[in-house]
Structure 1
Amino acid sequence: MDWIRLKLREALGDKKPISKKLLVFLGLLVFGVVFLINALAAPKVQQIEIANSNANANVGSDPAISVERAKIFIHIVGEVKVPGIYELEAGSRLMDAVFAAGGLAESADQSSVNLARELTDGEQVIVFKSGSLNSPTSIANQAGSQISLNRSTQSDLEELPGVGPALAGRMVDWRSANGGFKKKEDLLNISGIGDKLYAAIKDQVVL
């Protein structure tokens, strides 16, 4: 208050005492101006904070931004506890489908399935009964020297000349992904089987 009094005297060039009422009025005026400036500035900060908060909320709730993993549908039948159609995450293995179906039945021929194989959307998986006429092991035995392309296990396919574990695995994967072999010439669609190898094994296989 003394500071205001001194400044007014210097500005007015008046050495007479300044009215206390005037000083109070000027003090209130200065206080009011400062308060008004702060009041006008505060909503801007709050508005920015609210805008940022709404932006963060929209990022989490916007369906276009949220990431959803792809799904596939698998039909598993045969010797599993609960056969049916199951929805799995893309990239799932056959063991995931078997687990979803309650596991293998005690009568299942485990050699008829490759549990580590990756599944494709819309695929049907058949788990055969052990010792049945349709099981890969039985068909391989019935065919004698010929091996069934659609029923044999990977180890059976490895008995073909020039076919090792890696190539036999690709044959099983191609069979599963394409619904089986429709003709012997389908072997040429598999990486690693050319005309020479096909000519060497075509008479030793059946569909």
Structure 2
Amino acid sequence: MEKIKEHLNGIIGIGIVFLLVISLSLFNYFKSEENIPITSQIPAHNEPVIKISDTPKQEEIDENKEVQDIMVDVQGSVKNPGVYKMRDGDRVMHAIQKAGGFQEQAELRSVNQAMKISDEMIVYVASKGEEYEVQREEGSNGSQTSGLININSADEALLQTLNGVGPAKAQSIITYREEHGPFTSIEQLMEVRGIGEKTIEQWKDKISFQ
């Protein structure tokens, strides 16, 4: 009886050891399965990887935006009269700064320093005691909000709306401006060939010089 009992105990012990070995083997197997990478998530060796570039920032777009250059003629009581390259959006005060600033005898009230400048615009700073008309916003062809024609910036087509002005006389006025600078008085217009006292008498209420 004792031998049978010892035999059974031995069989039970062997069974317990066998179960422990099997359990340990299964544990190691499932653990190794967790560390195996999923091949569908790994790109092939020769498969190109697509990189999506970042969207450019708004600041970078604004910096690359092209700003148009314009030419402005600054005359009168400034330290360095002349034609200057400006940027679209600049104002009269910036053009005067480019020309070295005001002279001592400049009449500061003769110009609207806050006005935006435009291409081919003439900025004229009057001297103290000189008659002047403050320049206002102009259209692209030289017309003014006051309804007067700016003789110093009007184009050929607008000049021809004046009495007695055809293509040749309009071109003569423009050529005079380019060679001698802006007109400062109605009498100076008589220096243009074909313009006399009768003509300027008809124009005196229709033109301006600023």
TM exceeding 0.5: no
Query: Which protein has the bigger helix share?
Result: 1
Q: Which has the larger radius of gyration?
A: 2
TM-score, length basis structure 2: 0.44
